[in-house]
Amino acid sequence: MNIGVPRGLLYSKYHVFAETFLEEIGAKIVVSPATNKLILDEGVRYCVDDACLPMKVFHGHVSWLKDRCDAMLVPRFIGIKEKEYICPMFCGSIEMVSNNIPQLPCLIDTPICSTQNYKLSQWAKKTGSVLTKDENKIMAALDKALQRHGNSKTGFNDEGYPLKIGLIGHAYNIYDKFINMDLKKKLNGLGIGIITSEYINGADIADEAGKLFKKPFWTFAQEYYGAAVCIIKTKKADGIIYLSSFSCGIDSVVIELIKSETGDFPFMVLKLDEHTGEAGFDTRIEAFADMLKRRCGIGHNLS
Amino acid sequence: MEKNYYLGVDVGSVSTNLVLMDEDYMVCEKLYLKTSGHPVETLKNGLMRMAGRFGSSVKIRATGATGSGRQLAGMLIDADVIKNEITAHAVAASSIEPNVRTIIEIGGQDSKIIFLKEGIVYDFAMNTVCAAGTGSFLDRQASRLDIPIEEFGRYALKAQNPVRIAGRCAVFAESDMIHKQQTGHCSEDIIAGLCEALVRNYLNNLAKGKNIEEPIMFQGGVAANVGIVAAFEKILNKKIIIPRYYDVMGAYGAAILAKEEIERSGKETCFFGFESINDNFDVKSIECKDCSNMCEVIKISSNGELKACWGDRCGKWGALPGKVSIRN
């Protein structure tokens, strides 16, 4: 049985887990290709207009897969940590795709809540039952998937560049080279290395997020805020770029929280939307690079 | 002895500006032309006018390009330096007023705020995708009210009782203006209200939580609008300096950057003279169909010979033989 896995939203974070699990229970996996113009166009066509860009891109991936698989994995993500949540759009993503895109194959949309082991097992049993009745096989697959997931490492921590910036933002913005116009390549080309939140100590992140007057509901908000503040305080990088998609509610809060801690630390927000014109994007990146170079006294003196 | 000059061009969304600067950083000639959607023709026209006035009597030692059309402009004149507008504006402002702390720059589609400390940019902000409060919007409102844009600001100064206009969004601001006009408010009060709304919007968007310190310099085409200047002074309660060449500061900055670049590198300029403008430049846009990215690739050729390509994500077109590297 061919199971489609859309390369959108949390794919970059959890693909090792999902793919290992599906393979171990005997599925043949079809992953949609990296986002491209066709996928974006399809996504924009199907998705409601006021959704964020990553949600539109996700629609595009689902649409690409719909005629290429027998069933599709679109789990309903609820939470990763106890008493924390993720963006509410994820909760409704299944309704969005199933109502917006016609002629979809069977959707494997069992809710997934990885806050406790038994909840994860429930998810595995239900999802696995599509392919096998052998519960032992399913549990073994889950163990292997969790183990591989634990050993996998995402994120960037570039060395050997004269300057370094913390690149903060949702994984689906940072790792989608199409929608972020290959920001990493652009920054590297300007002599700037990148460090992402995965390379900041998790305990330090939690520590900083814990100092807020109220703990944010959202797991990712805590992670990005905490990582940004760690970078500012420890000077792990020369500046921070926050990559945000237009109309993201979580970002709108996190950005303001980070701004209250930046002081004199270079901080810039880059907004992503459907526009593919790179001029405005490049201007901001180049100006930010110039600013860092001058502030750090690198390169020729221009002024 | 033959004098050395530096040429700076700033190809923006609304205007294309050229500055000819001498060794002593003096502006010898400036041109402010409407881009009118044809950057290549406008730039050629500008160069032609420069050539007509100075001809071969001047020696151009270096050239620089800036503005949203900097890659295109840089290609056409083989610029020695291609820089973003933020850096160009900051360099220009601090060469006129070395102590400048804040630069307000409002152009056709962009608005920016730049903060400097000891001549170095230490923070900046640019408007997001929204063009409310920029020159294009003012242009549009002026033509809707049938008032020449040059006169627009002066109307604001004559206002007795500025009305309140919602400045957050250009579309809403326009309907708000129409409502006010239909209820009988005079144009002067509406225009003054609009100026204040735009300034409020600018400060909320770009300068929220930032300390705007003096000296403050106001650059870009909108600085010509005395109504906006007055609104800034009123709301900030601080003095705004308008530099003499406020409308071509980007081009001036590009000329300064060009001078610094050539002095640093010790190289000869790549500029091939005003004559080259007679070359037959051809700009073509194609959609590459080699992969699913379907990039919109720009191909520039001169006299039938391919000179540069950009717009591709994979770098295949950009790396074509004979292509001049123009990315920073």
Minimal Cβ distance to B91: which of A37, A190, A303: A303
ipTM (interface pTM): 0.73
pLDDT of amino acid B40: 83
- Is the domain of A134 the same as that of A261? no
Mean pLDDT within A85-106: 89
Task: State the number of CA atoms in the 13 A half-sphere of A199 facing the CB.
Answer: 16
CB of A263 less than 8 A from some CB of B: no
Write the pLDDT tens digit of every residue in A31-63: 999 999 889 999 999 999 888 999 999 999 999
- Is the domain of A108 the same as that of A137? yes
Q: Which of B89, B123, B263 is best to mutate for the A interface (most A CBs within 10 A)? A: B123
Subunit contact B120:A287, Cβ cutoff 8 A: no
- Is the domain of A31 the same as that of A92? yes
Say if CB B125 and CB B141 are below 8 A apart.
no
CB of B176 less than 8 A from some CB of A: no
Q: Which of A61, A252, A260, A290 is best to mutate for the B interface (most B CBs within 10 A)? A: A290
CA distance A246 to chain B (A): 9
- Is the domain of A101 the same as that of A230? no
Q: Which residue has the higher pLDDT, A112 or A168?
A: A168
pLDDT of amino acid B281: 74
- Report the CATH number at residue A180: 3.40.50.11900
CA distance linking residue B88 with residue B135, whole number of Å: 19
pLDDT band at B128 (very low <50, low <70, confident <90, very high): low
* Residue A303 falls inside a structural domain: no
CA distance linking residue B120 with residue A109, whole number of Å: 53
CB of A279 less than 8 A from some CB of B: yes
Model's pTM, two decimal places?
0.81
> How many A×B Cβ pairs under 8 Å?
86
* Residue A209 falls inside a structural domain: yes
- The answer for A 165-184 residues in CB contact with B (under 8 A) is 177-178, 181-182
Domain with A33, as residue range(s), is 2-151
Cis peptide, bond prior to residue B148, ω within 30 of zero: no
* Residue A270 falls inside a structural domain: yes
pLDDT band at A105 (very low <50, low <70, confident <90, very high): very high
Q: Which residues of B touch A276 (CB under 8 A)?
A: 296
pLDDT of amino acid A276: 56
What integer best gives the mean pLDDT of chain B? Answer: 83
- Is the domain of A29 the same as that of A63? yes
pLDDT of amino acid B322: 43
Nearest Cα residue to A217 out of A25, A86, A99, A48: A86
Subunit contact B328:A259, Cβ cutoff 8 A: no
pLDDT at residue B208 greater than cutoff 60: yes
pLDDT at residue A238 greater than cutoff 90: yes
* Residue A157 falls inside a structural domain: no
CA distance linking residue A281 with residue A275, whole number of Å: 10
pLDDT of amino acid A229: 95
Q: Which residues of A touch B84 (CB under 8 A)?
A: 282-283, 286-287, 290
Choosing from A107, A122, A151, the residue where a domain stops is: A151
Question: How many domains is chain A partitioned into structurally?
Answer: 2
CA distance B258 to chain A (A): 10
* Residue A158 falls inside a structural domain: no
pLDDT of amino acid B325: 41
Residue of B nearest to A282 (CA): B84
- Report the CATH number at residue A146: 3.40.50
CB of A256 less than 8 A from some CB of B: no
Write the pLDDT tens digit of every residue in B235-294: 999 999 999 999 999 999 999 999 988 888 878 777 777 766 666 777 788 888 887 777
- Is the domain of A143 the same as that of A20? yes
- Is the domain of A226 the same as that of A136? no
CA distance A130 to chain B (A): 33
- Is the domain of A8 the same as that of A85? yes
* Percent of chain A surpassing pLDDT 70: 97
Q: Which residue has the higher pLDDT, B54 or B82?
A: B82
Residue of A nearest to B98 (CA): A303
- Is the domain of A145 the same as that of A12? yes
CA distances for B20 relative to A31, B11, B218, B236, angstroms: 56, 15, 21, 34
* Percent of chain B surpassing pLDDT 70: 91
pLDDT at residue B64 greater than cutoff 90: yes
Print burial letters for B171-181: b (CB count within 10 Å at least 16), e (below 16): eebbebbeebb
- Side chain identity, residue A289: A
Choosing from A102, A122, A151, the residue where a domain stops is: A151
pLDDT band at A298 (very low <50, low <70, confident <90, very high): low
pLDDT at residue A300 greater than cutoff 50: no
Subunit contact B292:A300, Cβ cutoff 8 A: no
CA distance linking residue B7 with residue B255, whole number of Å: 5
Subunit contact B294:A287, Cβ cutoff 8 A: no
* Residue A8 falls inside a structural domain: yes
Q: Which residues of A touch B310 (CB under 8 A)?
A: none
- Is the domain of A213 the same as that of A94? no
What integer best gives the mean pLDDT of chain A? Answer: 89
Mean pLDDT within A65-82: 87
Mean pLDDT within B55-63: 80
* Percent of chain B surpassing pLDDT 90: 20
Paired with B296 in beta bridges are B287
Q: Which residue has the higher pLDDT, A67 or B122?
A: A67
* Percent of chain A surpassing pLDDT 90: 55
CA distance linking residue B167 with residue B134, whole number of Å: 11
Residue of A nearest to B292 (CA): A36
CA distance linking residue A109 with residue A91, whole number of Å: 10
Task: Map tokens 């807020």 to a residue.
Answer: A212
- Is the domain of A103 the same as that of A206? no
Burial status of residue B319 (CB atoms within 10 A of its CB: 0-12, 13-18, 19 or more): exposed
Choosing from A120, A151, A182, the residue where a domain stops is: A151
Residues A252, A254, A260, A261, CA torsion sign: negative
pLDDT at residue B165 greater than cutoff 60: yes
Q: Which of B4-8, B182-186, B251-255, B304-308 is most confident?
A: B251-255
Which two three-digit tokens encode residue A236? 């792990």
* Residue A98 falls inside a structural domain: yes
CB of B314 less than 8 A from some CB of A: no
- DSSP string of A164-202? EEEEEE-HHHHS-TTTTTSHHHHHHHTTEEEEEGGGS-H
* Residue A170 falls inside a structural domain: yes
CB of B129 less than 8 A from some CB of A: yes
CB of A277 less than 8 A from some CB of B: no
- Is the domain of A20 the same as that of A57? yes
CA distance B83 to chain A (A): 8
Residue of B nearest to A292 (CA): B122
CA distance A33 to chain B (A): 10
Mean pLDDT within A228-248: 92
pLDDT at residue B77 greater than cutoff 60: yes
Q: Which of A283, A284, A294, A295 is best to mutate for the B interface (most B CBs within 10 A)? A: A283
